[in-house]
């Protein structure tokens, strides 16, 4: 289908209208002329002419697409396509409930900045505009990049289903470049001070969570989901076999996300002793075999410490006691995990062992995140270089 060159007229201020004529053939063979109009903004007559030509080319591309890809004309709206895709993945077992909730959240963010058109009519320009408006609205580059890549994933699915002929997101249309963020761990002095503070407090689920973060590198969901079934007090080992994640505001218990996440972590004698005392005082037995199904940081009725409670409590605690990380920001519960990793590397534990204890899938991840960002390690390296260079 071809459109006429198009005429333009100024409606008001900088708003113009382009009008095009095209022909269609009815079932009886008769040819009919039809018109279509598009409004747009332009600062001058020359810009308006350029935009008129661009719109005509876009209309002709869409018409050609409908001829080449018949399914494109019947393509669902972007919102319906994405949500059906996500729900279908959950139903088929491809993703878990936590990932399902995450994908829906990404889709909602996309639709906040993307016009809900047929999936076949999404253009690269629309995606670029979405990225720009998200950044302008204050969203972090990581968030914008996740939304961009989520949309790209859905568009690839649309292409496979025949709704679009070619991917509108090309190599020239990339997500925002991510900024490297150094881990906000604790330096040695702050780590010792934190331990001194909780040593003066009674053992509670909150203080034990801190000790599990500092002394075993547990993530929030791993500490909360730790069950007595996987605590070996005799040998001083905890086993990460399940976590409690959030899915749309609802806690979901599941296994670790990756095979590397299933790991056995040795704990120090002091923490072993404190866990034994908690088992006896709260649950009435040091024999953890009698506590099957109960959470270490929970109560004897089977309830567990909630994510939000642990996160908020630690932030309030850190602000109250002036616990700041190496980046200068107030420490979070995740800062304890960062501290655990840098402490091990600083002490000379080999990177492969640290990676396995952290649950990283490869050593490169551990080295990229921690080995090059520890200020004390860099200072020590500088001292070694100075000593070597001074030798004659």
Lowest mean pLDDT across 23-27, 136-140, 218-222, 299-303: 23-27
Model confidence at 375: pLDDT above 60? no
In the chain, what percentage of residues exceed pLDDT 90?
55
- DSSP result, 309-347: HHHHHHHHHHHHHT-B-TTSSBP-HHHHHHHHHHHHHHT
How far apart, in whole angstroms, are the C-alpha atoms of residue 155 and residue 122? 9
Model confidence at 285: pLDDT above 90? no
Q: For residue 377, what pLDDT is reported? A: 52
In the chain, what percentage of residues exceed pLDDT 70?
91
Q: What is the pLDDT of residues 33-66, one digit of tens each?
A: 889 999 999 999 999 999 999 998 888 877 776 6
Q: For residue 23, what pLDDT is reported? A: 83
Burial zone of 251 (CB within 10 Å; 0-12 exposed, 13-18 middle, 19+ buried):
middle
Q: What is the pLDDT of residues 188-200, one digit of tens each?
A: 999 999 999 999 9
pLDDT band at 385 (very low <50, low <70, confident <90, very high): very low
Q: For residue 133, what pLDDT is reported? A: 95
Region 350-371: what's the mean pLDDT? 83
Query: CA-CA distances (angstroms) from residue 277 to 59, 84, 235, 272?
Result: 73, 50, 16, 9
Backbone angles phi, psi at 173, to 5 degrees: -115, 75
| Locus of tokens 């600083």 | 346
Q: What is the pLDDT of residues 150-161, one digit of tens each?
A: 999 999 999 888
Model confidence at 384: pLDDT above 50? no
Report the mean per-residue pLDDT for the chain. Answer: 87
């Amino acid at each position: 289908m071809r459109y006429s060159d198009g005429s333009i007229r100024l409606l008001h201020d900088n708003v113009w209208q382009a009008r095009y004529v095209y022909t269609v053939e009815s079932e009886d063979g008769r040819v009919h002329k039809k018109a279509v109009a598009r409004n747009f903004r332009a600062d001058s007559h020359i810009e308006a002419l350029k935009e008129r030509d661009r719109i005509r080319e876009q209309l002709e591309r869409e018409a050609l697409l409908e001829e080449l890809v018949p399914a494109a004309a019947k393509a669902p709206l972007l919102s319906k396509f994405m949500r059906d895709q996500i729900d279908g993945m959950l139903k088929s077992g491809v993703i878990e409930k936590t990932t399902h909730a995450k994908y829906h959240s990404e889709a909602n963010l996309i639709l906040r900045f993307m016009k809900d058109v047929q999936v076949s009519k999404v253009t690269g320009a629309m995606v670029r505009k979405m990225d720009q408006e998200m950044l302008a609205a204050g969203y972090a580059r990581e968030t914008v990049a996740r939304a961009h890549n989520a949309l790209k994933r859905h568009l690839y699915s649309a292409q496979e289903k025949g709704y679009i002929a070619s991917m509108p997101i090309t190599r020239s249309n990339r997500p925002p470049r991510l900024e490297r963020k150094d881990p906000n761990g604790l330096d040695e002095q702050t780590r010792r001070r934190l331990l001194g503070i909780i040593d003066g407090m009674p053992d509670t689920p909150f203080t034990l969570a801190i000790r599990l973060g500092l002394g075993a590198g547990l993530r929030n969901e791993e500490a909360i989901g730790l069950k007595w079934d996987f605590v070996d007090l005799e040998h001083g080992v905890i086993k990460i076999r399940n976590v409690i994640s959030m899915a749309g505001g609802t806690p979901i218990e599941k296994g670790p996300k990756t095979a590397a996440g299933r790991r056995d972590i040795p704990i120090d004698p002091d923490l072993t002793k404190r866990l034994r005392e908690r088992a006896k005082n709260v649950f009435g037995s040091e024999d953890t075999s009698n506590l099957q199904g109960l959470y270490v940081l929970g109560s004897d009725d089977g309830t567990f410490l909630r994510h939000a409670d642990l996160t908020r409590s630690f932030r309030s605690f850190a602000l109250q006691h002036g616990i700041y990380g190496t980046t200068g920001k107030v420490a979070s519960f995740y800062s304890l995990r960062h501290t655990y990793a840098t402490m091990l590397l600083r002490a000379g534990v080999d990177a492969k062992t640290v990676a396995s204890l952290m649950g990283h899938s490869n050593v490169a991840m551990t080295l990229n995140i921690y080995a090059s960002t520890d200020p004390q390690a860099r200072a020590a390296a500088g001292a070694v270089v100075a000593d070597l260079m001074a030798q004659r």
